[in-house]
A and B are shown apart, each in its own frame.
Chain A
Amino acid sequence: MKTITKNLLAFSIGLIALTIAFRFSLSTMLQNRLFGSVWIVATIYGILIFIIGWIFGKKEKMNLPLYDIGFRFHLATYIICNLIAEIWHLIGLQSEYENVRILHLTVIYWGIGLLIHFIIYLVTRKNAIKGIEKSEIFE
């Protein structure tokens, strides 16, 4: 099955840019003790991720409706968000109010969610031929 597509790549590049911008804003705000305003940046970040996911996910379906119940986009999001966050801490760009333990816990709990998503995908993909749902091939 074709897994890395043009739309997935475009989504990943957008997500990398957004995540770096988010990490930078978050650390800067926390360092300046703007604790009450952090939720605004986090909300904007979440909304923008949703929008680019929506746009490229829809394009992906129009181009070739690969049956993966969103797993490839979820996996890309998991890798990019967690990798950037971990690297951010590793090279010491975090604020003094950020706790690396929270990041590690996020990787674990989100990883469990991702694993469940993968299992559901494996169970339901029987309805697909070469990655396209049977009912969609001749639609």
Chain B
Amino acid sequence: MSTNNQMSELLSAWEETYKKGQLTLWVFLSLKDGKKCVDEIKSFVEEQSNQTMTCKSQSLYRNLRKCQHVGIVDFETGEGNKGPERKYYFLTELGLELLNSFIERNINLFFSKQIKNLILSED
């Protein structure tokens, strides 16, 4: 196996594992941006992640149902563009607090000077 091939396979394997835990963060970020229906959440996630994250509507519905059940997401119904009523999801107060705490503890680390330098350095 060539070094390039091995590199590519290792990268895919790492990304696959890494992305599994990322969907919730992307969904919550899309809801922090404003109320959205599932199709809009899907578009937001795919566009904002430069297509590195993809998600099926069915998985999104399932995730949102679980989040709604535990009280971090809720929805209100509104008219869709083409006819039937749609569910527009939003973060509850608890959900927003949860997202902010998560970002503070797990994402803001990447903005520290030392880590930022390490990420940006070529060596």
Contacts and interface: CB of A to CB of B under 8 A. Distances in A.
Interface string A96-124: 00000000000000000000000000000
Interface in A41-96: 62-65
Interface bin, chain A: 10 to 19
Interface in A4-48: none
B69 A2 contact: yes
Interface residues of B, number: 10
Interface in A115-139: 129-132, 136-139
A34 B90 CA distance: 63
Contacts of B63: 138-139
A130 B65 contact: no
A131 B66 CA distance: 10
Interface in B13-58: 21, 24
A132 B66 contact: yes
B117 to A, nearest CB: 31
A64 B70 contact: no
Nearest to A63: B65
A108 to B, nearest CB: 36
B71 interface: yes
B82 interface: no
B62 A137 contact: no
B101 to A, nearest CB: 14
Contact of B71 (A62, A130, A136, A138): A130
Interface of B: 21, 24, 62-63, 65-67, 69-71
Interface of A: 2, 62-65, 129-132, 136-139
The 7 closest A-B pairs by CB, nearest first: A138-B24, A130-B70, A64-B65, A137-B66, A129-B70, A132-B66, A64-B69
Given A131-B69, A137-B67, 20 more contacts: A2-B69, A62-B62, A63-B62, A63-B65, A64-B65, A64-B66, A64-B69, A65-B66, A129-B70, A130-B69, A130-B70, A130-B71, A132-B66, A132-B69, A136-B66, A137-B66, A138-B21, A138-B24, A138-B63, A139-B63
